[in-house]
Structure 1
Amino acid sequence: MPRQPRPTPVQRTAEILSLDPAGAYHRLVLRAEDSAASVSPGHFAALAIGGRDSAMLLRRAFSIHRADPAAGTIELVFAEHGRGTRALAGHRPGDTVDLIAPLGTPFPLPDGPVGAVLVGGGYGSAPLFALAERILDRGGRVGFVLGAATADRLFGVGLARSLTRHVAVVTDDGSYGARGRVTEPLAAMIRELGATEVHSCGPMPMLKAVTGIATAEGARSHTAVEEAMACGIGICMTCVLPVVGKDGVTRFLRSCTSGPVFDGARVRWDDAGTLPPDLEGADAMHPGRESAR
């Protein structure tokens, strides 16, 4: 599946058109005419929160739920995790935020019809609905597996059911859908659709498990990682993951530029957050280790 051309990100002051609750989350609509037409599913946006005098120096990165080029808008879904997102949730329509978008590498889009299963954990499902629409527009088939800890932390169940009858919903506590994890109905969904692609977004352990099942079922796994990003533009190197290249060599790749969408089979999930000894350049990063050169 071909990668999409990388658009030029635009920095702008974006007006908040609406900010509404969505279960346990918030749905934010921004006016962003310069960016909306360039968004593909899987792109993300980075927001500066608090103004020039704020102590919150780092931007916050959010997956783009959908973009409407005709209306010139971008929609984001976010949860309140810390000081920055709590401050963002306190904004009102008419307020403005400093926005950079679109950023990152999106999901690859098929040239023709394919069968695909889309797996979302919590509000990680946000970018998957626009992706499903693109696949359907190309004559493909889609199914959804959506999961969360509790019913209020699901996102987009109604949207999924408006797109396809192939929808499985699970919660850890059984408060909505079946009790369990997204991995449990996944293999059956892949077989039911004859899917060759599995697209997922959510916590890292979920992405690892989804990749394992997709690979075992003969499907390719495209994963949008939820790695913390400090700059969002590839400068700071805080969001690196160990990824095996086509040449078999493991390198650190930046989630904000090479990702957030990666071929899940090439990510070394168990080594995330570590410095693998066989990583290219690891000798120089391990003081006292004798170089292999």
Structure 2
Amino acid sequence: MLTTRRVDAYHALTVVAPGVAERFRPGHFVSVAVGGPRTSMVTRRALSIHDVKPDYGGTVELVFTAKGPGTSWLAERRARDTLDLVGPLGRPFPLPRDPASCVLVGAEYGAAALFPLADALMERGCRIDFALGAASADRVFGAMRARRMAETTTLTTEDGSLGLRGSVTDVLPSVIADTRADVIYACGPMETLRAVTAVAIEFDIPVQVAVEESMACGIGVCMTCVLPVIGDDGVTRMVRACVEGPVFRGERVRFEDVGTIPFDALGAPGGGARNVG
């Protein structure tokens, strides 16, 4: 059983999935089969979880944009259709042990994953401030809900149709300064996460990023979502975003090398780190 609705430029899909709702932690995602049982689309789609209600049979709301045949097929699902769905998957956001001032940065529909995180942080007595951005007003996700929840909400659009003109990272330094932020949580396209991480490093505050890498299986088998991440030992490894992530410490992700295997990564062809450990 499910319902679908349009949320500006995006689609929100609510499914009854009590097992997912029960085990969900903010930052988890689900992997959904698309196209029906006889389709040629064999790869699954990884979707962020926006909302979970363990009561009422256990519902889970997923948010996505219809940009290809798979997600377009999903957008056409109707009530009483069934979905092949696996989850919750991935490594969730770590939460502060003590109350902290938290800035939540979301770009495009990546912001969907930040709302259950905001709920969890507020339960721990944390202060919440949002910075949400997108190309245009219809692509800023959750502005009204953010304003209801947070101490402050700063909105940006590249075309100036909502909030301040520019990118969400343009306003981040002033948001950090105004809120005396202790930690940043970010979700959105890789270029945004790279820029958010650079600002966090500049301010010397921790940043947790939920990466948006293409995930075909969601369970660590297919290796389509690997990216270079620096370990606690200082060694770069190619890790799977779906299993070791999607949440990483921003400064550990080698954003400039995403899409490549750096020569110094452990096990890289001809790499300099092959003999480490």
Q: List structure 1 runs of 4+ shifted beyond 2 angstroms.
A: none
Paired position in structure 2 for 1:26: 11
AA aligned to 2:203 is E
The one-letter amino acid of 2:239's match is L
Cα drift, residue 136 of structure 1? 1.1
Mapping 1:107-126, distance limit 5 Å: 107-126=93-112
CA distance in 2, matches of 1:129, 1:145: 12
Deviations 1:167-203 (A, max 9, x none): 1000000011110011111111112222111000111
Kindly, what percent of the aligned residue pairs are identical? 49
Q: Could you tell me which residue of structure 2 aligns to residue 54 of structure 1?
A: 39
Separation in structure 2 between the aligned mates of residue 92 and residue 258 of structure 1, nearest angstrom:
33
Query: Which of 104, 128, 147 matches 2:114?
Result: 128
1:240-267, CA deviations, whole angstroms, 9 ceiling, x for partnerless residues? 0100111110000100001011100000
1:163 maps to 149
State the match for 1:209 in structure 2: 195
Q: CA deviation at 1:110?
A: 1.8
Call closer, same or farther: CA 1:59–1:188 in 2, change over 3 Å.
same
Name which of 146, 149, 152 aligns with 2:138.
Answer: 152
Alpha-carbon distance between aligned partners in 2 of 1:49 and 1:282, rounded to the nearest angstrom: 34
Q: State TM-score, norm by structure 2.
A: 0.96
Q: CA deviation at 1:292?
A: 6.5
- Per-residue CA deviations over 1:46-83 (Å, capped at 9, x if unaligned) read 11112221111111100111211112010001101100
Residue 191 (str. 1) matches residue 206 (str. 2): no
User: Which letter maps to 2:109?
Assistant: Y
- 1:67 is aligned to 2:52: yes
Residue of structure 1 in register with 2:236 after alignment: 250
Q: Which amino acid aligns with 2:40?
A: A
C-alpha separation between the residues in 1 aligned to 2:219 and 2:32? 12
Indicate how the Cα distance of structure 1 residues 248 and 235 shifts in structure 2: closer, same or farther if over 3 A, else same. Answer: same
Residue identity matched to 1:144: F
Equivalent positions of 1:274-289 (< 5 A) are 274-283=260-269
* Partner SS, residue 63 of structure 1: strand
User: Which of residues 59, 69, 76 is equivalent to 1:90?
Assistant: 76
Question: Counterpart amino acid of 1:115?
Answer: S
CA distance in 2, matches of 1:176, 1:275: 39
**Contact 1:171–1:179 (8 Å) recurs in 2:** yes
In 2: Cα distance, 1:95 partner to 1:122 partner:
27
CA contact 1:121–1:148 (8 Å) conserved in 2: yes
